Amino acid sequence: SPELGSVPPGEFIPVAERVGLINRLTLPLLSKALEAATSWPAGMRLSFNLSAHDCSSEDAVQQIVELIKSSRFDPTCLDLEITETAAIKDLPQTQRTISRLRELGCGISLDDFGTGYSSLSHIHALSLTKLKVDRTFVTNIQVNPASFKIVKSLVALCQDMQLECIVEGVETAAELDALKNLGCAWAQGYLFCKPMHASEISAWLESK
């Protein structure tokens, strides 16, 4: 913005949701993401966040499905992330949404788990493939017994429910070591990489 400068998603997405504009962002952003990801190595996964509106609208879901089908990206390598708010806003519709997306082969992640209002009954009712543990439980987990026990319980829950567990917000090697000791297999955060422009991804991958 010429007035505000760079505005991060954490700030503009809640505003777009409040003023009812979020539905105008999903399709163009998903289209750009799918197109950019077609140049990635085979089997590399793409994650994309859906809003509560996307999950609660039959029309929105239909448009998303059609866009995925028409793209050149393999839908079995696409993970669509939903929030706890979306899950409880209209559970029956969210179930139908997830079912349609799973039929395409897409993975479904419940984002920021542990900070909202989801109960175990909601998790059981949704055909999820992944749980993403919120970063609030990760910061300094190596010296925070409460966080350590919470993440340990969530990892065990995922194992029992045959869900992949992805821990968000890992920023230090000490945090990563603590998570490895808990048996965590997947993590994301600034320790691995900070956000980058799509045009920079290929060079970054080649450097690894």
Residues near 22 by beta carbon (within 8 Å), at least 6 away in sequence: 13, 16, 51, 53, 54
Number of Cβ atoms within 10 Å of the Cβ of 165: 24
Q: Which is the catalytic residue, given 3, 11, 35, 168?
A: 168
The pair of structure tokens assigned to 150 is 């919470």
Closest listed residue to residue 54, CA positions, set 89, 19, 79, 78:
89
Contacts of 139 (CB under 8 A, 6+ apart): 147, 169, 171, 175
Has 175 been annotated as catalytic? Answer: no
Which residues are part of the catalytic machinery?
168
